């Protein structure tokens, strides 16, 4: 027991020392960078064709005779991707509830617009179950920027593009999907708990003041009214109508009233409903495209803030110390 106490004191001292050093280091960096213009992020461009060529050469080197391999290698030099006139810019969007990836998406599209022509293509690899209306509305508007410049857009869905995810996908000229991808959910959802009865049972008053009849239609703690519910439902219906109009504008072939019920479908059914155009994975599409086009993966990477780097470093130190303590504490004495 005495050993455990001594070890615990040592552990606290070690963590305290490390924290002090990290705080000092953070302060020095903050002072050094004060007044300087910081780079918010960087654009990373990588050639996808080269990646496929490397994989193919590796397989061929191990499976073919030396003579056959030399012949293939020579042929590849004459069919270099640098000779292709068409370019396909590949961007990826991994969606969450707040569509936080839109911050990178807007930078990537801005970069592409500085160079792309109507002879090129943008492939958006999209995964999203949807989320906040205004966030996904902005994400869809970024893709509209490409449409307005007549740059062909293909959207590839390998897993899911539902609700706000499909709001984005619908802007594309062509939508591809893996057979078991989830597609659709053209609807609007809002839900909120109400604790008013609980507060009344415990004699707790709740006061809420507002200016404007519909400043707050539904509330967490106050008593909701039928009038407030009706207004809230009216607002949901308005958003839903705009959602339907948006999808219909970009995919006029759809029977919008039949599919805008909030339902979702697997892609092999969604293609029958004309929600998608082709059943194919993004991997297959890219491998086929690399035979006739130069593929470029465009990624905007945000620079990590000092506080984020510091918190991760501190968390790592604490985790290591905690793991060490658990390992020692688990030993019999």
CATH at 135? 3.90.226.10
What tokens were used for 87? 């370019």
* Between residues 316 and 149, the one the model is more confident about: 149
Per-residue model confidence (pLDDT) at position 36: 47
The answer to whether position 257 is within a domain reads no
The answer to whether position 324 is within a domain reads yes
150 and 272 fall within a common domain: yes
Residues 104, 159 within the same domain: yes
* Greater pLDDT, 271 or 311: 271
The mean of the pLDDT values for the chain is 85
Shared domain for 166 and 209, answered yes or no, is no
Q: What is the pLDDT of residue 207?
A: 87
Same domain membership, residue 34 and residue 18: yes
Residue 93 covered by a domain = yes
Give the span between the Cα atoms of 52 and 56, in whole angstroms: 6
Q: Regarding predicted confidence, which is higher, 303 or 251?
A: 251
Domain count across the chain: 3
Q: Do 153 and 295 belong together in one domain?
A: yes
Residues 147 and 159 in one domain: yes
Assess whether 24 and 117 both reside in one domain.
Answer: no
183-198 tens-digit pLDDT: 999 999 998 899 999 9
Within this chain, do residues 23 and 68 fall inside the same structural domain, yes or no?
no
Average confidence (pLDDT) over 133-150: 97
* Residue 126 to residue 93: CA distance in whole angstroms: 5
Question: Is the model more confident about 327 or about 102?
Answer: 102
Question: Do 62 and 99 have their domain in common?
Answer: yes
Task: Name the nearest CA neighbour of 143 among 235, 161, 159, 158.
Answer: 161
Which domain covers residue 317, as residue numbers?
2-38+306-329
Residue 165 forms part of a structural domain: yes
161 plus 133 within the same structural domain: yes
At 27, phi and psi to the nearest 5? -65, -40
> Tens digit of pLDDT for each residue in 77-88?
655 556 788 999
130 and 267 housed in the same domain: yes
Q: Which residues belong to the active site?
A: 163, 215
**pLDDT tier for residue 101 given thresholds of 50, 70 and 90:** very high
pLDDT tens-digit series, residues 25-35: 655 555 555 54
**pLDDT at site 6:** 61
- The rounded distance, in Å, linking the Cα atoms of 279 and 270 is 10
Residue 248 — pLDDT band, cuts 50, 70, 90? very high
How confident is the model over 220-241, as a mean pLDDT? 93
Identify the band that residue 67 occupies on the pLDDT scale cut at 50, 70 and 90: confident
Do 139 and 99 meet the contact criterion of CB atoms below 8 Å apart?
yes
Lowest-pLDDT choice from 131-135, 221-225, 262-266, 321-325? 321-325
- Closest residue by Cα to residue 188 from 142, 131, 226: 131
Give 26-35's long-range contacts (Cβ < 8 A, gap of 24+): 26/306, 26/307, 26/310, 29/306, 30/306
> What pTM did the predictor assign?
0.76
SS3 labels along 73-129: HHHHHHCCHHHCCCEEEEEEEECCCCCCCHHHHHHHHHHHHCCCCCCCEEEEEEEEC
Is the per-residue pLDDT at 60 higher than 90? Answer: no
- The whole-number pLDDT of residue 199 equals 92
Same domain, 323 and 281: no
């Amino acid at each position: 027991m005495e050993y455990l106490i001594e070890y615990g004191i040592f552990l606290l001292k070690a963590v305290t020392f490390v924290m002090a050093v990290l705080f000092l280091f953070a302060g020095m960096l903050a002072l050094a960078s004060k007044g300087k213009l910081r780079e918010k992020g960087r654009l990373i461009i990588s050639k996808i064709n080269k990646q496929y060529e490397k994989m193919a050469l590796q397989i061929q080197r191990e499976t073919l005779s030396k003579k056959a391999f030399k012949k293939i290698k020579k042929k590849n030099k004459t069919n270099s991707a640098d000779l292709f006139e068409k370019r396909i810019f590949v961007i990826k969007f991994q969606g969450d509830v707040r569509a936080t990836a839109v911050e990178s998406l807007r930078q990537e599209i801005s970069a592409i617009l500085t160079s792309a022509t109507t002879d090129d293509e943008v492939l958006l690899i999209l995964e999203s179950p949807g989320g906040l209306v205004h966030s996904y509305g902005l994400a869809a508007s970024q893709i509209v920027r490409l449409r307005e410049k007549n740059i062909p857009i293909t959207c590839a869905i390998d897993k899911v593009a539902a609700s706000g995810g499909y709001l984005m996908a619908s802007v594309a000229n062509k939508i591809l999907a893996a057979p078991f991808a989830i597609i659709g959910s053209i609807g609007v959802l809002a839900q909120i708990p109400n604790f008013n009865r609980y507060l009344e049972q415990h004699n707790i008053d709740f006061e809420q003041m507002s200016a404007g009849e519909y400043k707050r239609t539904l509330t967490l703690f106050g008593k909701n009214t039928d009038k407030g519910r009706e207004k809230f439902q009216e607002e949901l219906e308005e958003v839903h109508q705009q959602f339907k109009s948006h999808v219909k504008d970009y995919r006029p072939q759809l029977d919008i009233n039949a599919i805008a019920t909030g339902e979702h479908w697997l892609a092999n059914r969604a293609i029958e409903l004309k929600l998608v155009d082709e059943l194919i994975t993004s991997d297959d599409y890219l491998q086929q495209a690399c035979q006739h086009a130069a593929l470029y993966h465009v990624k905007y990477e945000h620079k990590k803030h000092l506080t984020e780097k510091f918190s991760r470093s501190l968390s790592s130190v604490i985790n290591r110390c905690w793991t060490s303590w658990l390992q020692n504490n688990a030993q019999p004495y």
